[in-house]
Structure 1
Amino acid sequence: MRSPISAVTIVKSRTEKLCNLISQLERCSPTPDELVIVWMAPPSDLSLIQSDKFDIVHKFVTQEELPIAKARNKGMLSAKHENLVYLNVDAVISPTLCRDGLLALKDNTVLFTSVVFLPSEHCNKPYSAISKTEKQIGYLASNDETLPDDDNNEIPSRNQGNNHGKFSDDSICSTVFFIRKTDFQKTGGFDEGYAGFGLNDEDFFTNCRALGYSLEQLPTRTFAPHRPNYQCPVNHLLDFVRNAQRFHSKWGFYPCLNVLAAYAEKGFINSNFEEKGLKIVQLPEKEDESNDGVNTSTPHQPTAGIEFTSFHSPDKNQVRLSSTA
C-alpha cells in the first residue's frame, strides 16, 4: 500500500547505497507514493532504475555537477505530494517510517528521527538485524535523551552548546526529516550560497526555528554509517570558515563554536572571533590523509595570492538578522 508521501534523496556516486535505500523503501508499510532521485553528476547505469512498489522520478544535471544544496532543493520542489521526507542515501530506515511520519506530520512542523551511527559494515545489514544487535554493539542514538553525559568520540553529542567539537544536532536531523512542501517553500529551501563543506544543515534548521516551526523527534530510529570525528576538520578550513561567516551575517551568531574554537587553538583563526569577527590567520601546511583528513601539522602564514572572502558580520549585540534564504 502506498502513502501520500514523496521521498527525496540525492546521489552522486554511491549507487550501491541508492539500491539499498530503494530496497528498504519497498519494504516499508506503507511505501511512499514516489521517490525523487536527484543525480548530482552525469547519469549512470542506474539513472533509470524503477520499482514496482512506487514511482521513481529521476532528475538529472544537464552540464555541470550539482552542489548539495541545489540538488536537495531541486528534489524537494519537484515532488508531487504535500508530504515530503528527505533521506540521506546511506540511511538505513525503519519499515514503519512513512506511517510514523504521516501520522505525526502537521503544518509548521519539521519531524526528524533519532540517528544511530554505526561502523559501515554494520549498515549493510537489514534494519531488523541491526535493531536486534544494536544494544550489543553499544552504540546509542546521537540525539536521544539516553545519550550518556560522558560522550565518546564516536557519538556526536546532542548538546549544541557543548558538543565537544562535533557538529550540532542540526546536521544529524537532516539524515531523515519530514516537512510539508508548502512549509519547505516558505523557508526558501537550503541556502545555495553556502559553498563546499559545512553548515548548510545548521542554516536550514535555524531558518525553520526563525519561522516559528516546531522541530519534533519521532520515536523512530534511523541507522547510518559512522561519521568521522570532525573536531577540527582542517582539510575543510576555508569552506568551513567562509560558511561560518555567511551564517553569522544572516543570524548574528556563530554556529558550531567548538569546531571554531578548535581552529583557534590550532592557530588557524583568531581566538577572539566572537568579538572581532572571524578571520583566517594561518593555513595548514598539508593534509594528513592517514588521520581521516585531519591535519596535525604546524600551520603557516597564508600563501600570497590566496584570497579570502569576507562577509561583514553584525556586531555581537546587534539583533539577529532575518533569513534571506
Structure 2
Amino acid sequence: MRKRKKPTKTSLWLALTGGILLTSMLAAQTVGGAANKAGERVYQRSCASCHGPKGEGTKAYRRALVGHATVKELSEYIGRSMPPGPKRLPPAEASAVAAYIYDAFYSPIAQERNRPPRVALSRLTVRQFRQSVTDLVGSFRPEPRLDERRGLAAEYFRARRLSQNERVIERLDPEIRFDWGTAAPAKDGFDPYQFSARWRGSLVAPDTGEYEIVIRSNHSVRMWLNNRRTPLIDRWVQSGNETEHRASIYLLAGQAYPLLVEFSKSTQGVDDTDKQQGRKVPPAFMTLAWRRPRLAEEPIPQRCLTPSETPEVYVVSTPFPPDDRSQG
C-alpha cells in the first residue's frame, strides 16, 4: 500500500493562506451584495420619487443620474445635500445609496450595460444575411485554394464520348469562346464529324446578385455550377435548332463556385460517322457567357475563371421580401 506523504509546514501555510483569502473574497462579495440591497432600499425610499426608479429622471428632475464621479464623491455629495430639505441621509445610508447608484446606472460601465440594443445596427439586410450564412457554413468546409493561373482546365476527345482513352489534348483555356467551323480543335488526331470537350475549374463571382448564365452552341452541351449533382443547363439531347440556352443563379461576390462544362459534337449524340463520310462537315461553335447583375451580357472573362476545383458554396436560395430601409 502506498504511503501518503506527510504535509510540510510550507504546504499547510499555503493552504491556510489560500483559505483565508478565499473566505475574505466571499465575505467581501456578500457584504457588497448586502450593501447594494441596502442601498437599493434607501434609493427607492428616498430618491426614486424625484430621480425615477432607475435614475432616468422625472418631470421634476429631468436629468438622468449618469456621470463620472467616484463612489466616494457621490457619497459625500449625497451626505451633504440629499434629500432636499432640512433632513439629510445618515452617513451609512449615503454611502450605501451612492454605491447602489454607481453600480446600477450612474457609472460609464453601468450606462453601457443598460443601453438598449440599436435595432438599426443589429438588423441584417438580405445581402448581409446571405453572406453571413455562407460564411458560417463555409467555416465548416475545407478552405478553397485558388490557382494563381486564370482560365479553365480543358480536355479534348476524339470521339463524342468523353472517355479518358479517347483524350487527345490537355491544356488551359483562358475562356470558353470557340468557333471551330467545319474544322476540329486540332489538325491531327480528330474526326471533324465528331469530337468532345470538357472544361473544369471554378467561377469567381465579382458581384453579388442574380446572374444569367448563357451557353451558345449548335451541339450537345451541359453545365454544372455550384452543384455537382444537377446540371444548371442540360441540352445533351438536342431537339430542334435551338442554339442558345439560359439559366439563372444567385451568386455572392468573392466566392469561387465549382464549374464543369461539357460539349459533344455529333448528330444528336449518335455515332454515325460512317453515314457522315462524304457529306458536308457540319460547323461547330461553343461560347460560355453571362449577364452579371445590372450589366450587359459578355463572355465569361479569363479573370473570373480558375482551374482550381473548389468545394460547393452554400447560398441561401429562399426568396426574401425587399429590404426595409426606413431605418439604418
Give the TM bin, normalised by the shorter chain: under 0.3
TM-score by length of 2: 0.19
The structure with the greater share of residues assigned to strand is 2
Larger radius of gyration: 2
